[in-house]
Amino acid sequence: MAVILPRLVFLTLFLHLIASQQINGSVSVGSSLTATPNAKPWLSSSREFAFGFQQIQGTDNFVLSIWYDKIPDKTIIWYPEGRAVVPTGSKVDLIRESGLVLSNPQGRQIWTSGPISDLAYGFMNNTGNFVIVGNNSPKIWESFAFPSGTLLPTQVMAKGGVVNSRNTNFTGGRFELRLLPDGNLVLNTQDIPTDYTYAAYYISGTYDTSNSTNSGEQVIFGETGYLYILTGSGQRFDLTPRGALPSGDYYHRATLDSDGVFRQYYYPKNPTDNTSWEVVWFVPDNICWSIAGDKDSGACGYNNVCSLDGNRPICECPQGFSIVNPDDPSGDCKPDFTPSCDEVEPNNGGEMFDFIELNVVVYNSNADCWKKRLPLSNGRKETTLTKAFLKYRKGSVSDLPPGTPPRLSGGNKDQRSLILVGSVLLGTSVFIIVVMTIVICVGFFVIYKKKATNTYPYTKTVNTNLPRFTYQELVTATDGFKDELGKGTFGIVYKGVIGNEIVAVKKLNRVVQDCEKEFKAEVNSIAKTHHKNLVQLLGYCNEGEHRLMIYEYMSNGTLAMFLFGEIRPPWKQRSYMAVGIAKGLSYLHEECSSQIIHCDIKPQNILLDDYYNGKISDFGLAKLLMMNQSQTNTGIRGTKGYIAPEWFRNIPVTVKVDVYSFGVLLLEIISCRKSLVLESYDQGVAVLTDLAWDHYQERRLDAFVENDLEALYDYKKLGTFMMVGLWCIQENSALRPTMKKVVQMLEGELEVGEPPCPYPFSITS
């Protein structure tokens, strides 16, 4: 016993020592950090990485982040996108049932890592990854799963993974690095409000059409600092060139920077004075020329011009333009003039307008002369290919810089157009072009002045005096109603062209007889509406038995086509659309001069514009329908699956019928499922509202969204949207919120309580 006891004591001390080493860098449940200038962060055991609050220079704000703690500039490698910047006094807590919770000084929750069960402790490890450890699981949440612009050694990105570029304000930028389902690693830009993805400007080429097992499966950042794509067959596609890394002890990171370039950096762990991050590899080679397309703004913002300095783009506003946001020099530029051709008199066009010769160009491979509308996109600095002349109204450029080049007088019909002239057309050709544009501008003005009553106005200004067209004019505009865009409750829609604008012409079904006065009143009512989430009415025809409406053309079809296609649309894009549609309905219900009840909210009546903004169509037309035109029972307006219960009861119908329909629509947007689906003749029809309530009661939102990882990562918003949808479909209309409150709840301005069972009346009966 005398021999055994010391060994047991030694073994106990040894195990205790090991245990203490293992928890070094760990964070216990209940721990918290407060955003103050001298706050101590949670450090990794190597003390190389820190989790906590960094103060933003020159402000009283802080950013919740992970950073390199031994590097003088404290380079940030992670932050919760969109919720990182907070005021002094904010806190982050590690809570047993909630994980990491960031709250403002008033205690309001700003961000959370998501509901977590079985939480044991947090751990800031030596790879820069903050991990939440469970009692029975080594990893139930990690920062590596939510990269914010940066990848680190040991980090892996699977198919479907996305890294957004990082902005100076710690929000996701407009550039994306994605590993597509087909195995290609791509870089692309996105439209931030809608999350619409533009064409890729870098493609790795790791997709094998002949053998899918040779396609990319993972992007791996190796411990030694080499970044590569691993294929399904185990082959390795190097991103970091072999032998490119220096020998020695270095930190490594790969960052999608705010300029859209994906760069790999290294930094010595034993730095000398003036040491900085060095670039070892980057794509694309020339960001200014890699991004193309007529809808994207290019490497720089709209009206901004790109030039290259080494591997970094420099964005500059051209002469006559100024930056919109001084804190974002690579963002959009605004004109310091009025590009217009209004009020041109036959003899003074040359006196009212001049041309500025720009020292920058927009690339055209054919060196042709062509017109380009504002805003300019894909501007690049190049003096040998083409030159640009920009027309402006005299007196509107009061602050142009000294040394403005000689100006050429002229005009043009298109008030938003630039005339881009090939270098081969300079000299006398420019003079001829300018003279011709003056003649054309004056000629069009005279013609337009004579036909003012029958011409589609170029500026789509909403007023009660909408242009009235003859039926024959619309027959001509639609080429005999040849190109059908779609059919709906209210009629058939055709594609047409009036002037130079593509429009949608809706031929209404038979309306209530002797309703000319009502038709005009309703047209005027719709014309008074003006909201970015409503399809705009541009004109009408009221001739004999013909009733037609002319609307703005929506290039991307209906929300139904978008939601129920083969590929599930991104969650961010869907959630953005839902809020926009809610705002449009709120406007119709509460902000119009006369309240408008839509009566037929459904995905087929939500149209998508060039940037996939959702816009409500056919509002205000329900009053014009004959009673027997309803798609369901006589006297009931709407579409099966979206109809509020009060339509079937002898009670007044209010705006709450639209709230019910929106609730069904919101559940469709969340799940990408249709409101009614015929599963089989034996099983009958699957009702989405029933499924939503069942899954909500069971707390199975993952099943409702069919494991949509993007939606599940945004769990708080997903839960909020789900609850709002269930409140909207309450059988008791008094329990449904107004659309104004719906908007506030969706945007997080109003707390959402637990919804009751939506259909208690139906159950008890």
Gap between the Cα atoms of 719 and 595, Å rounded? 31
Q: Give the pLDDT score at 81.
A: 80
**347 three-state secondary structure:** coil
Q: pLDDT digits over 206-239, tens only?
A: 988 778 888 999 999 999 999 999 999 999 999 9
End-to-end CA distance of the chain: 79
Q: Where are the beta strands (DSSP E) in 192-247?
A: 196-203, 216-221, 227-231, 236-238
Percentage helix, strand, coil for the chain under 3-state DSSP, each rounded to 5: 25, 30, 45
Residue 21: predicted pLDDT: 37
Q: What is the DSSP letter of 758?
A: S
Peptide bond into 603 cis (omega under 30): no
∠ CA 509-515-519, nearest 5°, is 75
Comparing 107-116, 418-427, 645-654, which segment has the lowest mean pLDDT? 418-427
| Domain spanning 21-145, CATH architecture | Orthogonal Prism (2.90)
pLDDT band at 515; cut points 50, 70, 90: low
Angle at 251 between CA 85 and CA 26, to 5 degrees: 60
Most confident by average pLDDT, 425-434, 579-588, 636-645, 671-680 = 579-588
CATH code of 471-552, in short, is: 3.30.200.20
Can you give the pLDDT at residue 360?
A: 64
For 258, 288, 361, 446, the CA distances from 310, given in Å and listed in that order, are 16, 12, 20, 52
Confirm whether 21-145 and 471-552 share one CATH topology: no
Domain ranges of the chain: 21-145, 150-284, 305-450, 471-552, 559-764
Q: Say which residue the tokens 């959402």 belong to.
A: 752
pLDDT bucket at 341, cuts 50 / 70 / 90: very low
User: Which amino acid is it at 208?
Assistant: D
Does residue 368 have a pLDDT over 90? no
Decide which of 317 and 143 is more confident.
143
The arithmetic mean of pLDDT across residues 366-381, rounded, is 63
Mean pLDDT in residue range 282-293: 85
DSSP letters for 543-584: ETTEEEEEEE--TT-BHHHHHSSSSPPPHHHHHHHHHHHHHH
Say yes or no to pLDDT of 646 above 60. Answer: yes
Task: Collect contacts of 514-519 with beta carbons under 8 A, ≥24 apart.
Answer: 515/624, 516/542, 518/623, 518/624, 519/547, 519/624
Question: What is the 8-class DSSP label of residue 214?
Answer: G
Which amino acid is present at 97? Answer: E
Each residue of 591-628: pLDDT tens digit? 887 788 888 899 999 999 888 899 998 886 655 544 33
pLDDT for 470-492, tens place per residue?
999 999 999 999 999 887 667 88
Tell me, what's the pLDDT at 293? Answer: 58
Q: Give mean pLDDT, residues 652-681.
A: 86
**437-465: average pLDDT:** 44
12: DSSP letter: H
Which tops the pLDDT comparison, 101 or 347?
A: 101
Is the model's pLDDT at 680 over the cut of 90?
no
CATH topology of domain 559-764: Transferase(Phosphotransferase); domain 1 (1.10.510)
The answer to whether residues 107 and 93 touch, using CB atoms and an 8 Å cutoff, is no
- Please name which of 535, 454, 542, 532 lies closest in space to residue 499, comparing C-alpha atoms: 454
Q: State the pLDDT at residue 764.
A: 36
Residues 6 or more apart whose Cβ sits within 8 Å of residue 433: 369, 419, 421, 425
d(CA 577, CA 597): 20
What percentage of the chain exceeds 70 in pLDDT?
Answer: 74
Q: Picking from 326-330, 595-599, 657-661, 677-681, which range would have the lowest pLDDT averaged per residue?
A: 677-681
Active site residue 682: no
pLDDT of residue 178: 95
Task: Check pLDDT > 80 for residue 532.
Answer: yes
3-state secondary structure 631-687: CCCCCCCCCCCCCCHHHHCCCCCCCHHHHHHHHHHHHHHHHCCCCEEEEECCCEEEE
Q: What number of other Cβ atoms are within 10 A of residue 6's Cβ?
A: 9
**Mean pLDDT, residues 541-549:** 87
Alpha carbon of 359 to those of 18, 318, 320, 322, 380: distances in Å? 68, 8, 11, 15, 10
Handedness of CA 660, 666, 671, 677 (dihedral sign): positive
Coil, helix or strand at residue 198:
strand
Is the pLDDT confidence value at 283 over 90?
yes
Backbone angles phi, psi at 158, to 5 degrees: -90, 175
pLDDT-derived band at 386, boundaries 50, 70, 90: low
CATH number belonging to the domain at 150-284, selected among 3.90.79.10, 1.10.600.10, 2.90.10.10, 3.90.1150.10: 2.90.10.10
Task: Pull the structure tokens for residue 482.
Answer: 């040849």
pLDDT of 197: 79
What pairing do the DSSP bridges indicate for beta strands 305-309 and 379-380?
parallel
**Which of 135-138's residues contact partners 24+ apart within 8 Å by CB, and which partners?**
none
Compute the mean pLDDT over every residue in the chain, rounded to the nearest whole number: 79
Which one has a higher pLDDT value, 332 or 496?
A: 496
The residue ranking higher by pLDDT, 340 or 600, is 600
Lowest mean pLDDT among 76-90, 186-200, 313-327: 186-200
Give the model's confidence band at 372: pLDDT under 50 very low, under 70 low, under 90 confident, else very high: low
700-742 pLDDT, tens digit each:
898 999 888 889 888 899 999 999 999 999 999 999 999 999 9
Highest mean pLDDT among 383-392, 395-404, 704-713: 704-713
The residue among 6 and 59 whose pLDDT is bigger is 59
Buried-exposed string 156-172: b where 16+ CB fall within 10 A, e elsewhere: ebeeebbbbbbbeebbb
**What pLDDT was estimated at residue 661?**
95
Confidence of residue 387 (pLDDT cuts 50, 70, 90): low
Residue 456 has pLDDT above 50, yes or no: no
d(CA 523, CA 27): 64
Which member of 257, 296, 414, 600 is catalytic? 600
pLDDT average, residue stretch 402-416? 37
For residue 354, give the nearest of 373, 340, 368 by alpha carbon: 340
